[in-house]
Amino acid sequence: MIDQLTETYADLIEGSYDCPDRLVLNAYFGLGHSPGGFRNWWRRLFGHDDDLDKPHLIRFAGRFSRRLKTYTTAHNIPFIQCRSGTRKHLIAQQHLPQDPEFCGLFLVLVSRASGLVWDVSHTADGRIRNLSKQYRFINHYFFHIMDSVWGHVTVRMSSHPPFGAQVILNGHEYVARQAQRVGIQFSKDGNCFTSIIGVADGGHAAVTSRPADAIGPMLTGEDSHLTQFAETLCSQDTVGQLRQVCDRWLYASCLHFALPEDERCQSGFRYEYALYQVEYSRNLLFQRAQQMEQVFDNLIDRSRTLLDIKRIKTIFGLKKRPSRRKSNSGRQPREEIVIERPAYNLTIFKLHFGPLTVKLYSKGERVLRSEVIVHNAKALGWKRGLPAFPVIIQRLQKMLYRFLNQLHGLDQCFVADDTMDTLGQSGQVGQTRTTGIDLNKPRLRAVMEAVISLAVVPNGFTVSQLANKVRDILGLAADQYQPRHASYDLKKLRGKQWVEKMGKSRCYQVSPTGLKTMAALFTLREKIIKPVLAGVGKPKPGPKPNEPALSLPKGQSELDIQYGKVHTEMRTLCHILGVAV
């Protein structure tokens, strides 16, 4: 399923590939999350619950810490205490094994964070009165493991029962391991393939043409290549592989320090898995780095105003991502562009929509990556069990496809010759006729601007969201523009087939043709007609625009120079037509 943005720049692209990236799975023992279930598990483990009290619960954490510390010391594995806010992945990069054949535990980090603990209260005669869940700051252990199939695997585990854990995997690591196993040649920068040559006995370059139902990188040739590995990673077969890698390391290398295998089997302790965070990316490999930079910079410049980005943040010389911690002075805005400049003027175009984030940024010298991230699958109301993994990947692929198509509509906006003549004509929604569109009305212009800014929302937008956006644009109070007003205005756009309803839901999405038309009308009015007419009657002192210059004047851009030329020609045209300026 190729998107319109990729298709437009196909002549500049050497190849493309899709791949799931960061995967975070929650591992939990379901019986241990209810008071009755936890007491039942305790009785299975010890035969009774007479000693179910706070001291015995704390002993589990102490035994976990002592056994783990002894093991790491005996096997020369680094055991590092970390303060809150420490970038643990940077520490792990310094301790990565140099032996490509290494497999096993190579680093343990310890950090305090909020976690689940059980609080027990007793009656005067020693019986359990209440068993309640509480969240306190406790030790969490980060096991950094090198797996032969998945590469670098991180397991975060609580030291208190029921020993909740998270397993962090990376899809690019999996694809790279499988590619190396069959002899595929490639170059990789972090978690991104910067060039794909193919198998050693005859490489095949990546191509951008792909069937509608394909998932993963598309390469030519019939030999084993990255496509097969990425498709396997996105298929139903991955569910079994994910469960295997989680079971393999959780039981053998992590939980064993708190609950040995015989005690685990005796008590019936077994982890279940649910998806917590998922990232899915599409990567475009440009032929030349300069072309990629020019395309991306122009795309951001043309889309930034239309998408109503509230903040631009520039960080010079930093090689780490911006901190996600929020200060007490103010909250970080939910829409932003973050620009980093580590080695290759890395640019990150980031939009937040609640638990979803879509990103477009440069990677390495000539890779342009688009990415959709689910920060918390629970907040989306999706099925989160491990069997739902392929369904979630397909949903993310459709979101990313739609986001790139909407960006393409903003980048390649277009208005037909008869659009201005037909704007005022009535439209139709079902059996209902709607009034025409009058762009001279500020309220309707604000509605179009709001619809354009909401066009890239992955799950569509509601009438209430549109009303909030219009109030922000016009500076109105809540009672001056309500959802019923937004519904009336939105129906006018639906009558022109610029906006469509998403199935039987109450959400709406902008059609590709409608987005191109509205973006073109907005650009014509705000970027061409208004600036040109404003400058025609107000000539500025200075050199004439037609005079050649060795460099741009200070404080002026190429766009300012072009505006000056248009102002000069428009004054001449108005003088010929007899229009007073």
DSSP letters, 306-325, are TTT---EEEEES--SPPP-P
pLDDT above 80 for 69: yes
| pLDDT score, position 548 | 52
Give the Cα-Cα-Cα angle 192, 197, 200 (nearest 5 degrees). 125
Amino acid identity, residue 322?
P
Three state DSSP letters for 48-107: CCCCCCHHHHHHHHHHHHHHHHHHHHHCCCCEEECCCCCCHHHHHHHCCCCCCCCCEEEE
Residues 343, 318: Cα–Cα separation, whole Å: 9
| pLDDT score, position 196 | 59
**Rounded mean pLDDT, 149-157:** 94
DSSP-assigned beta bridge partners for residue 297: none
Confidence of residue 342 (pLDDT cuts 50, 70, 90): very low
**Rounded mean pLDDT, 311-327:** 36
Residue with the two structure tokens 């998270």: 166
| pLDDT score, position 546 | 54
Residue 421, helix vs strand vs coil: helix
| pLDDT score, position 264 | 92
Residues 359, 348: Cα–Cα separation, whole Å: 7
| Higher per-residue confidence, 121 vs 335 | 121
Answer yes or no: are the C-beta atoms of 293 and 99 closer than 8 Å: no
| pLDDT score, position 180 | 83
Answer yes or no: are the C-beta atoms of 205 and 196 closer than 8 Å: yes
Nearest to 335 by CA among 463, 456, 466: 456
Helical pair 289-304 and 389-411, crossing angle rounded to 10 deg:
80
| Higher per-residue confidence, 57 vs 420 | 57
pLDDT above 80 for 199: no
| pLDDT score, position 447 | 92
Least confident of 268-277, 309-318, 323-332: 309-318
End-to-end Cα spacing for the chain: 53
**Rounded mean pLDDT, 277-293:** 87
| Higher per-residue confidence, 77 vs 314 | 77
| pLDDT score, position 528 | 78
| Higher per-residue confidence, 205 vs 571 | 571
State how beta strands 272-286 and 367-374 pair.
antiparallel
| Higher per-residue confidence, 138 vs 306 | 138
Confidence of residue 525 (pLDDT cuts 50, 70, 90): confident
| pLDDT score, position 294 | 81
What structural domains does the chain harbor? Answer: 4-14+281-322+333-411 (no CATH), 30-163 (no CATH), 419-524 (1.10.10.10), 537-577 (no CATH)
Average pLDDT, the chain: 80
Least confident of 171-180, 223-232, 253-262, 331-340: 331-340
b or e along 485-511 (b: 16 or more beta carbons within 10 Å of the residue's beta carbon)?
A: bbeebbebbbbbebbeeeeeeeebbbb
